[in-house]
Structure 1
Amino acid sequence: MIQIVLTGLWLGLVFNAAPGPVFTESLRRGVRGGFRPAFAVQVGSLVGDAVWAVLGLAGAAALLTQPQWHIPITLAGCLVLLFLGAQGTYAAVRPGAAPVETPSEVPAQDTRPGNTSTLRGPLVAGALMSLGSVWNVVYWGGAGGAVGGALGEGAPLGSLLVFFAAFMVSSLLWCFICAGLIAGLRRAMSQRWTRIVEGGAGAALIIMAIALALQTFGT
């Protein structure tokens, strides 16, 4: 049982710490709004992770690896990345953009245009990116079978639940670590660098969307 827990903790850390769209969006929102929006993006992404993990561990690995599922998921994911990327670049370069608040001046809620007054926006963004990630589908399509094989054929439900719980605990821990690092970076940055990073993150999301579309649908 200890081995199952350690495996889940390790895979959760490796899976979530890998750089990608979720981290980029967390960085984009975090350098502008601090810990809370960055943390919200990370937590929102756990929704998609949990959905694909449950499907993979429940024995739907064969279904997840079917190519016909990849195209609509990829298309949806590309649209989400394009929208968020455009939002980020526009917020960084538009004339008359509101100045970046210093940490002592940050209000409890960010009401700037392009952001919601609650954490709902970052949460939804993280969830949509994770649900629309074809790599999550591929990963859990393979990981589900691998975990089942490691635990033995016909593994008891309790073992799968332990693995899933360990994975999610590790993932949640990474949410705090990632958001904390971004918040620390934000405190050390000037307004100019904040806008540069925000715009760069938005551009990176657009590039990721284009590269994913080209890779999936061909040139």
Structure 2
Amino acid sequence: MPNSLDLTALLATGLLLGWSVAWPPGPINAEIARRAVARGFWPAVAVGLGACLGDATWALGVALGAGALAQGPTMIAIMGALSLTLLVVLAGLFLRAAWRKAWAWRAGTWTRAVSAIDSTRAGFLFGLVAALTSPWNVTFWLAVIGRPDMVSQGLAGALVVSGAVIVGTAAWVFAFATAIAVFRAQLDGPAWDVLTHGLTGCLMLVFAAKTALSLAAS
């Protein structure tokens, strides 16, 4: 069990690490931003919380020794293929929605409709599946928990730093969703509806291409 000094250091390290790895652009942040504009605060936060649950699942698996099983080339290929498929499907859904909303806007029939993929539950599931199917998520947790200084802290130390990373990530999710939701009233209307769906769809394609290139190089 870590002593009080070790515990403080582990918590601080985990919180800073969780925040620092959460803010760079990625499919989860793109979807948080889109939902914050389209639906508001809680639907956006649901995406991040789903991702946090996926992160926690991998963290626990790595801490218990199961993470190494997912590092084989076959498992990396399978998880990468699932992640790539998810990104491509979502890109298609968002781009199709942008196209339909653009035509409705042009025809004067646009309304702020909530589709099934925009529900809070769907957002949570997206975040969860995106985190669980990312092979680089496993690599991240192996790097965090597998460091010599972390191994010396034992299972308790690994769980402490993992929990702190999740809390740091969740803090970013709440801060990011809040910052965008505050300006939601100014971002409402058909133009923003079309733009957010179209931009998110394009970003998903970019992330899918990066995933495909990474898999091809591995």
TM bin (shorter chain): 0.7 to 0.9
The aligned counterpart of 1:53 is: 59
- Structure 2 unpaired stretches of 5+: 1-6
Structure 1 position 202 matched with structure 2 position 208: no
The aligned counterpart of 1:65 is: 71
Partner secondary structure for residue 37 of structure 1: helix
CA distance in structure 1 between the partners assigned to 2:73 and 2:145 by the alignment:
17
Residue 143 to residue 66, structure 1, CA distance change in 2 (3 Å): farther
The aligned counterpart of 1:166 is: 164
The aligned counterpart of 1:151 is: 150
CA distance in structure 2 between the partners assigned to 1:100 and 1:130 by the alignment:
32
Q: Which amino acid aligns with 1:121?
A: A
CA RMSD after TM alignment: 2.2
Partner secondary structure for residue 112 of structure 1: coil
Residue 2 to residue 29, structure 1, CA distance change in 2 (3 Å): same
CA distance in structure 2 between the partners assigned to 1:204 and 1:42 by the alignment:
17
Spell out, residue by residue over 1:75-99, the C-alpha distance to the aligned partner (whole angstroms, 9 max, x if none): 1001111121112112222032674
Contact 1:77 1:129 in 2 (8 A): yes
Q: Which amino acid aligns with 1:167?
A: V
CA shift for structure 1 position 26: 1.3
Q: Percent identity?
A: 29
- Structure 1 unpaired stretches of 5+: 102-110
Structure 1 position 217 matched with structure 2 position 216: yes
CA distance in structure 1 between the partners assigned to 2:49 and 2:195 by the alignment:
25
Spell out, residue by residue over 1:7-40, the C-alpha distance to the aligned partner (whole angstroms, 9 max, x if none): 1111111122222111011122222111121111
Structure 1 residue ranges, 4+ long, deviating more than 4 angstroms after superposition: 97-101
Partner secondary structure for residue 59 of structure 1: coil
CA distance in structure 1 between the partners assigned to 2:88 and 2:164 by the alignment:
33
CA shift for structure 1 position 123: 0.6
The aligned counterpart of 1:105 is: none
The aligned counterpart of 2:89 is: 83
Counterparts in 2 of 1:1-219, with a 5 A limit? 1-94=7-100, 95-96=103-104, 99=110, 112-115=114-117, 118-146=119-147, 149-153=148-152, 155-191=153-189, 192-217=191-216
Residue 30 to residue 90, structure 1, CA distance change in 2 (3 Å): farther
CA distance in structure 1 between the partners assigned to 2:183 and 2:209 by the alignment:
28
Moved more, 36-45 or 205-214: 205-214
Contact 1:61 1:144 in 2 (8 A): no
- Structure number with the higher helix fraction is 2
CA distance in structure 2 between the partners assigned to 1:49 and 1:152 by the alignment:
19
CA distance in structure 1 between the partners assigned to 2:34 and 2:170 by the alignment:
20
Residue 198 to residue 186, structure 1, CA distance change in 2 (3 Å): farther
Report the number of matched residues.
Answer: 205
Spell out, residue by residue over 1:168-213, the C-alpha distance to the aligned partner (whole angstroms, 9 max, x if none): 2222222211211221343332521342132111111022113312
CA distance in structure 1 between the partners assigned to 2:57 and 2:114 by the alignment:
32
